[in-house]
Amino acid sequence: MKRNWQILGRLVVVSTVLVFVLSGCYCFKETAVKETPPPAQEKAAEAKAPAPAPAKKADDEAAKAKAKALYEKQVAEAKTFAERPIHFDFDRYDLKPQARAALDELGAWLLKNKNFDVLVEGHCDERGTAEYNLALGERRATATRDYLVKLGVDADRLSTVSYGEENPVDPRSNEEAWAKNRRAELNVFPTSWYK
Amino acid sequence: MCFGRVHDNATRRFVRAGILVTVVLGLLVFWDSPAWSKVYIDIDAPAFQRFPIAVQDFKVLEENGDLKEEGEWFADEMGRMLNITGFFRVIERSAFLEDVAAAGITAPEIRFGDWLSIGVDFLVKGGLEIEDGRLAVEFRLFDVVRGALITGKRYWGRPEDKKTMVVKFAEEVMLALTGERGVFNTQIVFVGKKGKESELVTVDFDGSGWTRLTDYGALTLFPRWSPDGKMIAFLSYMRGNPDAYILDLASGERAVFSEYAGLNMPSSWSPDGTEMLCVFSKDGYDDIYAVNVATKETRRITRSPSIDVSPCWSPDASEIVFVSNRSGAPHLFIMSADGGNVRRITFEGSYNTSPRWSPTGDAIVFERSVDGRFQLFTIKPDGSDVKQLTFQNGDCLSPSWSPDGRYIAFSLRRSNSEKICIINANGLNFRTIEDIGGFDSVKQPSWSPALKLY
């Protein structure tokens, strides 16, 4: 189980990634290139192998550009999962068929993109009490995590946090808002950002 | 302020001289019958009616300072204090027949018939003067029907002590008429939330003295006041994970109480303050644990795949009431302190939660969903005698008993905003603390034990 500072780190990181990616600012470029190599190594090596010595500097540039392009593609894909939280029924934490389908997609992606981790945030609608809902949100996050583990994703790459009823996406008090608020958010982000 | 006691003016002066030498605060007591001990009002009776009481403008006893407005202030503040107890109906001054200028403040000088005829049962009178450079204020409580003094006190102090004088005499009135001093010397701690962050705030029983305790800039929840009044336990995300902390009120220092992976919800201090019931999810699913506050030694109490939350000790620490969805929906259960002898006590409604055992032990207050709204109910520990206390157009959440068991604080949620409200234990005398101090919502109140505020 990962500890608090990691989760906090992840939260800061997720928002930072989104801000940078969305704004098209490349301030993060240096860090990204430096820290991606481990997972991207195979591809970098493939790219390197056929073209050996002569223009070493040019090759490095090409490899860097390729790694960067791959990384940006990964970040963009990761963002699409964060934009699609999975939803639950009132006072329930079992995964509905649509939720399973979404998690199947995420699981497959995670198995391919091993340099990305997930922080699952469990949330509830406002009905009921804060304490019960904090536990319910934890159940939702845990059920989501457990499903991904069953798909073969390494449990070390998955962490959970519950916010109960405290962070609604829609603050209104009606069925439509409640349905949106009963959710698990899938924050997918590069492992490097908190390690 | 000074304290003392006296029977008449001569001894009053004598006693006062003695007190002046030694103390800063002073008080005098005078009475008609030496052994006054009758408790007038059974405020716990189901059909309790508020007792009509009048508070006349305090009289300036000796014109040696500009005290006229002070006389009105004392009457207003005394009336306000008595009113918020929920046990008195304070009669409007416009109804008074007796001429304040002509009447005195001792029994022989009072026309009790004038008070009886406007329906007053009890009467508070007072006088004030400047004495040896200090404010001296005399308070007297009369039984209008008998035409006799019940209790009286005289206080000396600085002008800024005047609220203390009012509170002290309000306690005397409560003690004389109900047998207990009331909860004027208590505060309520609660969560003030703005956006995604929240802080802890305290307010006095009467709604004054709003004080912000924390500046963590993080989601902070579930404050729980310790039985000795010195600490507040709470949960905060200040380091990312929902960990439990304890704030020492005297030093302002904060200590980590528990930091297991997952939930760390502090729920209930044992009555002697040695053990805290918490909900942790460290062993897979949320379960109830008892943690020794000093040694952190932890014993697991529930082992259930269901959601088990909101544990609360019985006042004798022999049992624990908690919420579980083990039978499908959230219901209240009671178990022994070791986790044995579990039995369900609620069978109606689809959502029963937030149980808090009353300090007197005979009732448990909780929330139940009724027609899509959460309302407060009480139930006896054996599951009988369910009573609905609130009928609000909104959700009544997170109830907390006053230390004397005569009031319940909770938050009322209406259109996305919560405010702290207080009712008497029978559901009457609903009042709202309107101030939300710039927050979007204030919620999750926890009532302090008796403190020494005044």
Q: Encode pLDDT of B310-367 as tens digits.
A: 999 999 999 999 999 999 999 999 999 999 999 999 999 999 999 999 999 999 999 9
Q: In this predicted structure, what is the pLDDT of residue B147? A: 93
Q: Encode pLDDT of A160-174 as tens digits.
A: 999 999 999 998 889
Portion 155-194 of B in contact with A at CB < 8 A:
193
Q: What tokens were used for B418?
A: 């919560």
Single-letter code of the amino acid located at B282: K
**Which chain B residues have a beta carbon less than 8 Å from that of A139?**
285-286, 307
Q: In this predicted structure, what is the pLDDT of residue B68? A: 78
Q: In this predicted structure, what is the pLDDT of residue B235? A: 98
Asked if B312 has any chain A CB less than 8 Å from its own CB, the reply is no
Q: What's the mean pLDDT when you consider all of chain B?
A: 89
Single-letter code of the amino acid located at B435: D
Q: In this predicted structure, what is the pLDDT of residue B62? A: 81
Q: In this predicted structure, what is the pLDDT of residue A53? A: 57
Asked if B353 has any chain A CB less than 8 Å from its own CB, the reply is yes
Taken in order B266, B448, A163, B324, is the CA torsion positive or negative?
positive
Asked if B218 has any chain A CB less than 8 Å from its own CB, the reply is no
Query: Chain B: nearest CA to A6, how far in angstroms?
Result: 8
Complex prediction ipTM:
0.85
Q: Which of B353, B375, B443 has the highest number of chain A CBs within 10 A, making it the mutation to test binding with A?
A: B353
Q: State how far the Cα of B154 lies from the Cα of B16, in Å rounded to an integer.
A: 10
Strand extents, DSSP E, B41-147: 51-55, 59-60, 88-90, 122-131, 134-143
Picking from A1, A131, A166, the nearest residue to B309 by CB comes out as A131
Query: Chain B: nearest CA to A11, how far in angstroms?
Result: 8
Q: State how far the Cα of B223 lies from the Cα of B190, in Å rounded to an integer.
A: 6
Asked if B450 has any chain A CB less than 8 Å from its own CB, the reply is no
Please give the model's pTM, rounded to 2 decimal places: 0.84
Asked if B286 has any chain A CB less than 8 Å from its own CB, the reply is yes
**Which chain A residues have a beta carbon less than 8 Å from that of B309?**
131-132, 134-135
Q: Which of B351, B396, B413 has the highest number of chain A CBs within 10 A, making it the mutation to test binding with A?
A: B351
- Per-residue burial over B391-412, b if 16 or more Cβ lie within 10 Å, else e, is ebebbbbbbbbbbbbbbbbbbb
The values of phi and psi at residue B255, to 5°, are: -125, 145
**Which chain B residues have a beta carbon less than 8 Å from that of A1?**
261-262
Q: Would you put residue B349 in left (φ > 0), alpha (ψ -120 to 50) or beta?
A: left
CB contact under 8 A, A135 and B354: no
CB contact under 8 A, B398 and A130: yes
**DSSP collapsed to 3 states, B25-37:** CEEEEECCCCCCC
Per-residue pLDDT at B130 exceeds 70:
yes
Mean pLDDT for the stretch of residues B83-96: 91
Mean pLDDT for the stretch of residues A24-35: 36
Q: Encode pLDDT of B271-314 as tens digits.
A: 999 999 999 999 988 999 999 999 999 999 999 999 999 999 99
Mean pLDDT for the stretch of residues B405-429: 93
Task: Yes or no: say if A71 and A36 are a contact pair by the CB < 8 Å rule.
Answer: yes
Greater model confidence, A145 or A4: A145
Q: In this predicted structure, what is the pLDDT of residue B4? A: 38
Taking alpha carbons only, the member of A12, A165, A49 closest to residue B219 is A165
CB contact under 8 A, B351 and A128: yes
CB contact under 8 A, B267 and A132: no
**Which chain B residues have a beta carbon less than 8 Å from that of A171?**
416
Query: Chain A: nearest CA to B253, how far in angstroms?
Result: 21
DSSP string over B378-416: EE-TTS---EE----SSEEEEEEE-TTSSEEEEEEEETT
Q: In this predicted structure, what is the pLDDT of residue A23? A: 42
For residue B221, the tally of other CB atoms under 10 A from its CB is 23
Q: In this predicted structure, what is the pLDDT of residue A48? A: 46
Greater model confidence, A88 or B437: A88
Q: State how far the Cα of B242 lies from the Cα of A135, in Å rounded to an integer.
A: 11
Taking alpha carbons only, the member of B302, B248, B195, B266 closest to residue B444 is B266
Strand extents, DSSP E, B226-296: 231-236, 243-248, 254-258, 264-269, 275-280, 287-292
Half-sphere exposure of B391 (CA within 13 A, CB side): 6
Beta-bridge partners for B130: B135
CB contact under 8 A, B307 and A135: yes
Q: Encode pLDDT of B235-270 as tens digits.
A: 999 999 999 999 999 999 999 999 999 999 999 999
Mean pLDDT for the stretch of residues A43-56: 52
**Which chain A residues have a beta carbon less than 8 Å from that of B243?**
4
Greater model confidence, B254 or A129: B254
CA nearest to A163 within chain B: B242
Mean pLDDT for the stretch of residues A145-171: 96
CB contact under 8 A, A8 and B267: no
Per-residue pLDDT at B128 exceeds 80:
yes
Q: What's the mean pLDDT when you consider all of chain A?
A: 80
CB contact under 8 A, B354 and A4: no
Q: In this predicted structure, what is the pLDDT of residue B10? A: 35
CA nearest to A140 within chain B: B285
Q: In this predicted structure, what is the pLDDT of residue B328? A: 92
Q: In this predicted structure, what is the pLDDT of residue B394? A: 94
Query: Chain B: nearest CA to A136, how far in angstroms?
Result: 7
CB contact under 8 A, B325 and A91: yes
CB contact under 8 A, B281 and A135: yes
Q: Encode pLDDT of B186-217 as tens digits.
A: 999 999 999 999 999 999 999 999 999 999 99
Question: Where do we find the tokens 């044992």?
Answer: B270
**Distances in whole angstroms, Cα of residue B203 to Cα of each of A85, A106, B234, B395:** 39, 48, 17, 22
Picking from B286, B397, B443, the nearest residue to A138 by CB comes out as B286
Q: State how far the Cα of B251 lies from the Cα of B340, in Å rounded to an integer.
A: 39
The values of phi and psi at residue B299, to 5°, are: -120, 135
Asked if B325 has any chain A CB less than 8 Å from its own CB, the reply is yes
**Distances in whole angstroms, Cα of residue B11 to Cα of each of B15, B22, B27, B29, B239:** 6, 18, 13, 11, 64
Query: Chain A: nearest CA to B2, how far in angstroms?
Result: 47
**Which chain B residues have a beta carbon less than 8 Å from that of A172?**
416
Picking from B241, B353, B443, the nearest residue to A132 by CB comes out as B353
